[in-house]
Amino acid sequence: MIGKFSAYLDVSKVSLTNYLYGLRAFHSWLKTEEIARPLRSDILRYRKVMEAEYKLFFFSLILLALSGGLRTVEISRADVSDLRNNGDAEVL
């Protein structure tokens, strides 16, 4: 289904990559929540979850920058998947 959707779009390769990333994340969340037919309320709940994760990610980057001396270029290139736990601390 995602393949059909991506073939239908007339966008740049970067935009297509971003769309597919978002769709895969949404699909994964639906599977985790065991939602077969999402309703508007499910989509709104997903949006709140993503906003909360983004705020946590942003806060984590600020803490890493301050405590670890990250440069702005390292922060701008960071991705959520770059964060991992090392013991009881998050590291980039």
Count other C-beta atoms under 10 Å from residue 65's C-beta: 16
Which of the two residues, 40 and 87, has the higher pLDDT score? 40
Count other C-beta atoms under 10 Å from residue 61's C-beta: 20
pTM of the complete model: 0.58
Spatial distance between the Cα atoms of 75 and 92, rounded to a whole number of angstroms = 9
Read off the pLDDT of residues 34-75 as tens digits, 9 standing for 90 and up: 999 999 999 999 999 989 888 887 887 788 778 877 777 877
Percent of the chain topping pLDDT 90: 23
Say if residue 92's pLDDT is above 70: no
Spatial distance between the Cα atoms of 62 and 54, rounded to a whole number of angstroms = 12
**Residue 80 pLDDT grade (very low, low, confident, very high; cuts 50, 70, 90):** low
- Among candidate residues 78, 32, 87, the one with its CA nearest the CA of residue 57: 78
